Amino acid sequence: MKTIENILSGEIFEGEELEYFVDDDTLIGEVYLDGDLIFQSLETMDDNQLEHAFHKEFKIIVQDEDIFSNFN
């Protein structure tokens, strides 16, 4: 489970899969969490630039899966 917090607004998102997508035609970068758009960046050339811009505005907390939760 990933908890993603917007550093400026404090808005929190939770999910599993983080995806980065850059449209080569429009140069718009988008970040999706479990298929939901959570961030857009203009004038993005590649995934590295998008990831850098994303990490400037968001912090990611990765929570280890509780291995004992399946024993109930």
pLDDT digits (tens, 9 = 90+) for 15-34: 999 999 999 999 999 999 99
* pTM of structure: 0.83
Question: Which residue's entry shows tokens 């024993």?
Answer: 71
Structure confidence at residue 62 as a pLDDT band (50, 70, 90): confident
Whole-number pLDDT of residue 71: 57
Question: Cα separation of 51 and 45, whole Å?
Answer: 11
More confident residue, 1 or 33: 33
Question: Cα separation of 11 and 39, whole Å?
Answer: 12
Question: Cα separation of 48 and 35, whole Å?
Answer: 20
**Pairing of the two strands 2-6 and 58-62:** antiparallel
Whole-number pLDDT of residue 36: 97
Mean pLDDT for the chain overall: 91
